[in-house]
């Protein structure tokens, strides 16, 4: 019997690929780079499933090119703003994600940025490497600011925000948060967090860390008005999605010292274009969207993405489904 075709957009963990090869005729580009739209349009013809990453825009053109066999789009990511969910749902195509698997890894990286910013770790490293450390210990060399006892503001206390809060307790931080909904008192007590308004969050945080998922309602949620409300000594950390911050306003804020610095793992346009103004600033730490980039997490994400795809094609519940309204059509 002829096997169903599926398309994997780029090289992913081999365990996941092997798992899928047991059941499907796998079309694989085997390139680490994301394919162009034209390449995708050719490759998806008649496939039943697409396993993609957040770099590939899966819109109606791709769905049209795949044709009516297409039943599942499984993304190797937690975010799914690269997929036209409305269009997929209309066509009865299931969209699955890797859910909260990346929470701990992303929280670790967030803390890495908090530590690196406040204690000037990157600057200090470059100073030593560049041979500039000529006079030994000095009372005022690379003075940073305390994390211990400072106030951490968490914008969006979901899975990643919670994992960040747990780490912050180890640093004896005063943790405030704002969220679409206030959490129950028992969860707040367990996490040792205090609910505040967005305004209070901006005004009181020494470190403001963004963990809300991205949608059209929080596009440029942090703009000039918000940045001006923050403490001049504060740091802004973003490991969520670039478009939550208006980058032009952030650059202005960093240049004019409205805030002390920013640690960014995500940007409005990725990769960050050469000559981008952020690249010229000293009070930033910039990373190439590596929040979930640990071997363990990425392997797990690949496996979950493969299982999600296989479950849908076997009429079983996937682990993380976006368009839950389609659940009733399964098996
Ligand atoms: C995601 O999965 O949404 C992250 O941003 C990348 O791993």
Q: Contact at 8 Å (CB) between 261 and 284?
A: yes
Q: Which atom of ligand 1 is nearest to the CA of 292?
A: 7
| Rounded (10°) CA dihedral 21, 22, 23, 28 | 0
Beta carbon of 302 within 6 Å of any ligand 1 atom: no
For residues 72-80, average pLDDT: 97
- The two structure tokens encoding residue 238: 């973003």
- Tokens for 311, please give them: 């479950």
CA of 325 to the centre of ligand 1 (A): 23
- Model confidence at 22, in pLDDT bands (50, 70, 90)? very high
Second-level CATH architecture of 5-101+295-329: 3-Layer(aba) Sandwich (3.40)
CA of 108 to the centre of ligand 1 (A): 14
| Radius of gyration, CA atoms only, the chain | 22
Is residue 283 within 8 A of residue 262, CB to CB? The reply is yes
Contact at 8 Å (CB) between 48 and 68?
no
Give the count of alpha carbons within 13 A of 177, CB side only: 29
Percent of the chain clearing pLDDT 90 (strictly above): 96
In the structure, what pLDDT confidence band is assigned to residue 223 with cuts at 50, 70 and 90? very high
Q: Is 77 in the pocket of ligand 1 (CB under 6 A)?
A: yes
| pLDDT at res. 126 | 97
CB of 202 closer than 8 Å to CB of 196: no
What is residue 33's three-state secondary structure?
coil
In this chain, the answer to whether the domains covering 5-101+295-329 and 103-286 adopt an identical fold is yes
**104 Cα: distance to centroid of ligand 1 (angstroms):** 12
Extents of the domains making up the chain: 5-101+295-329, 103-286
Catalytic residue numbers, as ranges:
241, 270, 289
Tell me the mean pLDDT in the region 78-93.
97
Mean pLDDT of 276-280: 98
Round the average pLDDT of the chain to a whole number and report it.
Answer: 97
d(CA 244, CA 221): 5
- Mean pLDDT for the stretch of residues 297-310: 97
pLDDT at residue 331 above 90? Answer: no
Pocket of ligand 1 contains residue 99 by CB under 6 Å: no
The answer, yes or no, to whether residue 116 has pLDDT greater than 90, is yes
Q: Quick one: pLDDT at residue 2?
A: 87
Q: Can you give the pLDDT at residue 237?
A: 99
Q: Specify the ligand 1 atom closest to the Cα of 241.
A: 5
| Mean pLDDT of the region 233-258 | 98
Residue 263 phi/psi, 5-degree rounding, is -120, 115
Verify whether ligand 1 is closer than 6 Å to residue 159 (CB atom).
no
pTM confidence score: 0.96
Query: Edge-to-edge strands of the sheet including 284-286?
Result: 193-195, 174-178, 151-155, 207-210, 235-238, 261-264, 284-286
pLDDT of 185: 98
For the record, the structure tokens of 26 come out as 């796998």
* 249 CB within 6 A, ligand 1: no
Confidence of residue 30 (pLDDT cuts 50, 70, 90): confident
Quote the CA–CA distance of 319 and 331 in Å, as a whole number.
15
Whole-angstrom CA distances from 62 to 17, 226, 233, 254, 306 are: 22, 38, 47, 40, 20
Strand-pair category, 207-210 with 284-286 = unpaired
Say if residues 8 and 27 touch (Cβ distance below 8 Å).
yes
219/173 Cα distance (integer angstroms): 29
Is 209 within 8 Å of 110 (Cβ atoms)?
Answer: yes
Q: What is the CA(78)–ligand 1 centre distance, in A? A: 5
Residue 158: Cβ within 10 Å count: 17
SS3 227: helix
How would residue 322 be classed by pLDDT, with cut points 50, 70 and 90?
very high
| DSSP label at residue 304 | H
Q: What is the pLDDT of residue 330?
A: 86
Ligand 1 geometric centre to CA of 55 (Å)? 10
CATH 3.20.20.70 fits 103-286, yes or no: no
pLDDT band for position 319 (cuts 50, 70, 90): very high
pLDDT in tens, 125-163: 999 999 999 999 999 999 999 999 999 999 999 999 999
pLDDT score, position 1: 75
For the stretch 283-292, pLDDT in tens is 999 999 999 9
95 bridge partner residues? 73
In angstroms, the CA 254 to CA 142 distance is: 19
CA distances from 58 to 36, 93, 192 (A): 11, 12, 40
Residue from 74, 75, 79, 289 whose mutation best tests the ligand 1 pocket (most atoms within 8 A of CB): 79
Cβ count within 10 A of residue 138: 9
Is the distance from CB of 88 to CB of 144 less than 8 angstroms?
no
């Amino acid at each position: 019997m002829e096997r169903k075709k599926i398309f994997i957009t780029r090289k992913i963990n081999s365990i996941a690929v092997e798992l899928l090869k047991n059941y499907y005729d796998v079309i694989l580009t085997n390139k680490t780079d994301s394919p162009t739209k034209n390449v995708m349009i050719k490759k998806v013809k008649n496939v039943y499933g697409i396993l993609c990453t957040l770099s590939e825009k899966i819109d109606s053109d791709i769905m049209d090119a795949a044709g009516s066999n297409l039943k599942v789009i499984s993304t190797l990511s937690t975010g799914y703003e690269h997929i036209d969910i409305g269009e997929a749902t209309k066509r009865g195509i299931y969209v699955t994600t890797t859910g909260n698997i990346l929470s701990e890894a992303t929280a670790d990286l967030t803390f890495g940025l908090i530590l690196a910013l406040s204690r000037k770790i990157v600057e200090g490293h470059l100073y030593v490497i560049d041979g500039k450390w000529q006079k030994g210990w000095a009372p005022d060399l690379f003075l940073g600011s305390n994390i211990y006892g400072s106030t951490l503001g968490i914008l969006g206390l979901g899975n990643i925000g919670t994992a960040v809060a747990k780490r912050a307790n180890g640093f004896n931080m005063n943790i405030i948060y704002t969220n679409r909904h206030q959490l129950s008192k028992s969860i707040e007590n367990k996490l040792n967090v205090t609910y505040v308004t967005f305004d209070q969050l901006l005004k009181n945080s020494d470190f403001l860390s963004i963990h809300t998922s991205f949608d059209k309602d929080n596009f440029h949620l942090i703009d000039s008005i918000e940045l001006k409300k923050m403490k001049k000594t504060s740091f802004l950390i973003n490991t969520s999605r670039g478009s939550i911050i208006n980058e032009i306003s952030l650059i202005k804020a960093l240049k004019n010292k409205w805030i002390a610095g920013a640690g960014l793992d995500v940007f409005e346009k990725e990769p960050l274009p050469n000559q981008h103004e952020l690249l010229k600033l000293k009070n930033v730490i910039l990373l190439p969207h590596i929040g979930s980039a640990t071997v363990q997490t990425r392997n797990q994400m690949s496996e979950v993405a493969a299982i999600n795809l296989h479950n849908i094609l076997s009429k079983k519940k996937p682990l993380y489904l976006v368009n839950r309204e389609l659940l009733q059509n399964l098996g």
